[in-house]
Structure 1
């Protein structure tokens, strides 16, 4: 139902699903009122537009969104058959999707129109809050693989949370790794230090990039992580949030 989100295989989506139209409208209006930025995922993590909710019209069952300033991205948005949205409200992560988007105007300016979603996901538990790690200088984790898989190998991270990490297996060396555990993994967090933990692969998602190459994202859960190492992860997440908020403030 929510194919593009980072935690695609998060267990029991229905545990967090909101289907009450009144509650959905209230949440969307709250996001708009607080001018929360929304990540619109056009083709997964590889094509992302930052937008915001301009209006929620319950009578016409539509949501009006700000447009992309990139002409090429604007065309891809309008031709997309599936869009995913990710934002937060009062530190609660909100996910929803739309099957189509059309053009509209709002206050005399171009805008997008989508239908009010029939349901959305509200993740209230802190451990499910994930934040993307840097792309240009990626954080890496060292997995101690057996010799037949190349021995110790480092992999770039896609995101991190207090519950685990998502790694990118660009060369598909791990195969069907869901359920497998890796012990004594080393995670080097910039300006924080080394974190040691065991990892269990909980989900796997193959992504088609814009150049038509395939990448594999593996969602991994921390296993037997110490309090000290978990505190280091939390400090790093806080640092990433601070940097992201500073960038957003600079754009506003």
Structure 2
């Protein structure tokens, strides 16, 4: 968006900024910390009127590089909105006896309400798969039914546990999209439903369907996924033109 278009989405002043960051902290929403030499996913550990404390990343080298940076961008996806703000520098501190980053509260941030994500159906040939693990243990393979930048819908192959809980986090889901490559994501289960179709024998076939939202995508993953969606859209459009 142009700067003028963004103006309506700015939160400025201590109380407005603090309110948004406290929501991110309370919900445990992942944040993406990006700078000129890399990026990593972290969480807000603490925030008050004076100080913002961010968890260290999992890689010691990345943490040391981050301390050298003088310009950082922070992004988070929360409740259908994207939050963005910039920081000049992070400093080393400790939180709960463990190393962490600290920085003064930003003076402003962007909170942009997302529109409905464009969702496209996955192809039937070749079939795209989602490999995951059931919350109670055991491997699962789903057929990818549709995909968007916000999440996926999958069809369950075989038996499904009865105690699935909406809101649960599913980590390390692997999306196998054939020639388009693979993507490993974390998802939150939004809905357990059923897809009903009619077979060639005029019989009603019901297949369990699960809907997931992505809890976080890196900038690279989002770009990759957007390219896949664009490609699938183009293929679907070309196929539709051939059958007109």
Cross-structure match for 1:188: 231
Distance in 2 (alpha carbons) for counterparts of 1:158 and 1:35: 21
Change (3 A) 1:38 1:157: closer
Residue 105 of structure 1 corresponds to 94
CA RMSD of aligned residues (A): 3.8
For 1:195 and 1:34, the matched residues in 2 are separated by 38
Distance 1:11 1:157 in 2: 28
Structure having the higher Rg? 2
Report the equivalent of 2:45: 54
Paired with 1:21 and 1:97, the residues of 2 have a C-alpha distance of 15
TM-aligned CA distance change 1:119 to 1:55, over 3 Å: same
Alignment coverage as a number of residue pairs = 147
Q: CA deviation at 1:194?
A: 2.3
Q: Distance in 1 between matches of 2:222 and 2:47?
A: 32
> What per-residue deviation string (whole Å, max 9, x for no partner) do you get for residues 55-87 of structure 1?
0021xx110000012122112100001010110
How far 1:196 moved relative to its partner? 4.0
Q: Comparing both structures, which one devotes a greater share of its residues to strand?
A: 2
- Does residue 97 of structure 2 align to residue 94 of structure 1? no
TM-score (norm 2): 0.50
**Inter-CA distance 157–63: structure 2 relative to 1 (3 Å threshold):** closer
CA contact 1:157–1:166 (8 Å) conserved in 2: no
Structure 1 residue 109, shift from structure 2 partner:
0.8
Provide the residue aligned with 2:13 in structure 1: 20
Separation in structure 1 between the aligned mates of residue 227 and residue 14 of structure 2, nearest angstrom: 33
Where in structure 1 are there 5+ consecutive unaligned residues? Answer: 1-6, 140-155, 168-185, 198-227, 229-252
Relative to the length of structure 1, the TM-score reads 0.49
Please give the alpha-carbon distance, in whole angstroms, between the structure 1 residues aligned to 2:117 and 2:111: 10
